[in-house]
Amino acid sequence: MIARLTRSFLKVPWSAQLGFVIIALNVIAFVFAPVLAPYPETQIIGRGWEPGFWAMDCSDEAVSQRGPCWSEFNTGRVEGKAWLGTDHLGRDLLTRLLYGARNTISIALLITGLSFFIGMTFGFLAATMRGWVDQLISRIVDIMMAYPTLIFALIILSVAGTSTLVLVLVIAILDSTRVFRLSRAVAMDIVVTEYVESARLRGEGLLWLMRREILPNTLPPLIAEFGLRFCFVFLFLSALSFLGLGLQPPMADWGSMVKENSGVITFGVYNALIPAFAIAFITIGVNLVVDWFLRKAAGLRDEY
Amino acid sequence: MNSLGSLIVRRLAFAILTLFIISVLISVGVELLPGDLARSLLGQMATPETLAALRKELGLDQPYHIRYLAWLGDVFRWDLGRSLANNILVSELIGVRLENTLFLAAVAAVIAVPVSVILGLVAALYRESFFDKFVSMTTLTTISFPEFLVAYILMVIFSVQFPFFPSMANVTHDMAFWDRLHAVALPVMTLVLVVVAHMMRLTRAAIINVLSRPYIEMAELKGMSSAWIIVWHALPNSLAPIINVIVINIAYLVVGVVVVEVVFVYPGLGQLLVDSVSNRDLPVVQASGLIFAATFIFLNLTADILSILANPRLRHPK
């Protein structure tokens, strides 16, 4: 099993391998955050904005006094230093980053899942029923898409407040318009095939048609789209958090971490860039895998 | 020609309809949400008198359609009400800021459009070359980067390490044009980087798409040089998608400034919108939201009409 997985992993181009490794790292951070984190989530371990490993003193003198220069950075001991420095309140940045992975990734996944549920249901519905149902949903989506997403979200958040539930619903609904477009377009091709026709003539219900005939045949493009939408949602959520309107403290979250620590960038303290790079890292990883998947799916279609 | 006219009229009607629905949503959609707006603005401690006063000020004591018409009439007279936060006239608050945002977006567009079209052309001409791969790798990275990361990286390089440009893009009314340009250098660079990546990718894709057509093969067989083929045959035929991409990206610029303005503390409309959303200053949110919406819809409409004009095939929809 493991051998087979390794072999198929080695066959993948290097860019996709890189993507898989990045995703795996994030999954590990997600699952094992409490184990990996050197300190508890909200513990204050030092002064604000202490530098991390880049400020290690590796001169001969320091090494002879204290041993190898990395021993300055130990894990688990409060008197030690923090590998990635501390945040504005003096909490360990690495710990916050690991817990932040949990919050940000799980909420982004939840939003993407919800958005796909809404978008696919309506998309398949529009494709199967055609007629006025299709017209009505499509026009509503046209109007929603004619409006900039970020501004839309900001206006709704200003009225409804910035609770996590509102945030999830708003982004999911706004994002489901794109899923709707794609799933409707893909399903349109499937609806006219003979096997859907024969299922219809057999007297199968609408739900059965959508779930058993259309869904399995539209999966590959939708899976790739899931990756892209996840990236988009992740960036969108981070942007909102960065603006102070996304996930609210004390929840650790990458976008808010950038915001909290960004004030001192002009003074040469770059701790805020670490969570920002973490955001870029995961979106690049997912993008690389999606890229490979799309190319593979296209290639398969050529062969047949 | 008649069909062209009716096509444009139809797009125009759709844009106006969209704007109408958005304006209804912005002005009274507030009502559709659960809870009492006045109470949620003032908090649980509000006395009945202040609640009633705020309701009257927001016009919440009148029916929907009257409130909407009154609001719309006010908007047309450029009377946008007063800010709840500091009681300044919203139109005054917004005027200068809108100008600043448009300035930022315009400078970014003037740089980004030619750069991305030329880079896209070159990448399409030498596709699969080192240059092409380098460019597509860079664009993939820039697309994956959150805007604020691009902004902070530029700030670290060009403002902290090598102090060429100010990290706070503060512009005032009495600044000379070049001083202004110098002040907005970093936000402009950020916007350009983000937008060029997207525009270039699509320009390249549009041209490569055209290059696979039979008439291009014919031109090659005739012995035309590849640069000439691209300029003479491929570019005119991919003009429609390119124009579309450009205008949509300019629309994006006007809206995408929000994050960039916050990073560089630029006194623009986006910053104002974000501040008023945090303060729940509804009149300002409504006004700036409507302006953003109108700009975005207008630019999208322009993209539609221009691409219909540039591509005769679109004039006869099947």
| Total CB pairs under 8 A between chain A and B | 125
Q: What is the mean pLDDT of residues A285-300?
A: 78
Q: Are A196 and A209 in contact (CB under 8 A)?
A: yes
B30 part of contact set with chain A, CB < 8 Å: yes
At B124-135, the pLDDT tens digits run 878 777 888 888
| The pLDDT of residue A75 is above 60 | no
Closest CA–CA distance from residue A74 to any residue of chain B (Å): 29
Q: Which residues pair with B89 in a beta bridge?
A: B82
Q: What is the pLDDT of residue A173?
A: 92
Q: What is the pLDDT of residue B33?
A: 54
| The pLDDT of residue A53 is above 80 | no
How far is Cα B244 from Cα B226, in angstroms, rounded to an integer? 25
Angle between helices B239-263 and A215-242 (to 10 degrees): 40
Q: Three-class SS string for A74-107? A: CCCCCCCCCCCCECCCCEEHHHHHHHHHHHHHHH
pTM score, two decimals? 0.84
Q: What are the structural domains, with CATH classification, of chain A?
A: 2-50+85-297 (1.10.3720.10), 51-84 (no CATH)
Closest CA–CA distance from residue A283 to any residue of chain B (Å): 5
Q: Would you state the structure tokens that stand for residue B115, as one six-digit string?
A: 């750069």
DSSP string spanning B216-277? HHHHHHHT--HHHHIIIIIHHHTHHHHHHHHHHHHHHHHHHHHHHHHHTT--SHHHHHHHHH
Q: What is the mean pLDDT of residues A136-154?
A: 85
Closest CA to A281 of A223, A229, A234, A233: A234
Q: What is the pLDDT of residue A77?
A: 44
Q: What separation in angstroms does the CA of B226 have from each of A297, B123, B124, B201, B231?
A: 31, 13, 11, 20, 9
| The pLDDT of residue A185 is above 60 | yes
Partner residue facing B146 (CB), from A158, A238, A288? A238
As to burial, measured by CB atoms within 10 angstroms (0-12 exposed, 13-18 middle, 19+ buried), residue B89 is middle
Contacts of B278 (CB under 8 A, 6+ apart): A244, A245
Q: Which of B30, B150, B201, B277 to mutate to test the interface with A (most CBs of A within 10 A)?
A: B277
How far is Cα A13 from Cα B140, in angstroms, rounded to an integer? 16
At A234-260, the pLDDT tens digits run 999 999 988 888 888 777 888 888 888
As to burial, measured by CB atoms within 10 angstroms (0-12 exposed, 13-18 middle, 19+ buried), residue B207 is buried
How far is Cα B172 from Cα B188, in angstroms, rounded to an integer? 17
Helical residues (DSSP H) of B184-225, grouped into ranges: 185-211, 214-222
pLDDT mean across residues, chain B = 80
Residue whose token pair is 């739900």:
A207
More confident residue, A195 or B230: A195
| The pLDDT of residue A108 is above 90 | yes
Q: Are A214 and A151 in contact (CB under 8 A)?
A: no
Which three-class secondary structure state does DSSP give residue B184? coil
Q: Which residues of chain B have pLDDT under 70?
A: 1-2, 28-45, 58-61, 84-85, 313-318
- Decide if A284 and B141 are in contact by the 8 Å CB cutoff: yes
Q: How confident is the model at residue A78 (pLDDT cuts 50, 70, 90)?
A: very low
When computed from its CA atoms, the radius of gyration of chain A, rounded to whole angstroms, is 24
